[in-house]
Structure 1
Amino acid sequence: MTWRWEYDPAEDHVVGGSPPALVAEVEKQADELVRAAAAFYLDGASYQEAGPKGNVAHVPGGFFLYLIVPRHECLYIHQVTYL
C-alpha cells in the first residue's frame, strides 16, 4: 500500500465552494504531510500503537483539520476553513 491523502467524507463536502487557490495550498500541504508520515511510520499497515491525534495545518488563506491513520497509510482531510 502507498501512503496517500483523501478528503473525508467527500471532496465537495470538505472543500466545496472554497477558492481554488486555497484548495491548491491545502493539497500541496497534504502532499508534504503524507511524505513526512510515510517516513515516520515506515510500516504503517502493521502499526499497532495508538494513532496520532487530529491536527491543524495552516496554509495561506486558511487552515485545515486532518487526521493521520497509520494503519490505513492515509491522511484524511476533514475540514477546510477559508479566512
Structure 2
Amino acid sequence: MNPKAVIEEILDTAQKLSLEKDRIKGIFQKSGINVDGNGKVASVNGDPLAALKSLMDNLSEMAVVKISAKQIVRKAGLTI
C-alpha cells in the first residue's frame, strides 16, 4: 500500500473514531495533508511518506486515533 493510500485510510478511521472533525482536519493540515469539505484527502504537500511521518507525530494529541493509525501503518508494511 502506498503512503497516500495509508493517509486516506487513517483519515477515514479518524473520522469514525472521533466526532471532532475540525480538530482532525487541523491535524492533517498541520502535517501537510489537505482535506476537502467532504472529509477526503485533497492533496499532499511534498513527499507523502514525510507527510505521513509528520501526521504520526501530530496525532499524539488524539491517542485513540494514533493507536489505530499505527496499526494501519504496520498492516501496510511501512516503517516510519
Same-fold call, TM > 0.5? Answer: no
Higher helix share: 2
TM-score, normalised by the number of residues in structure 1: 0.32
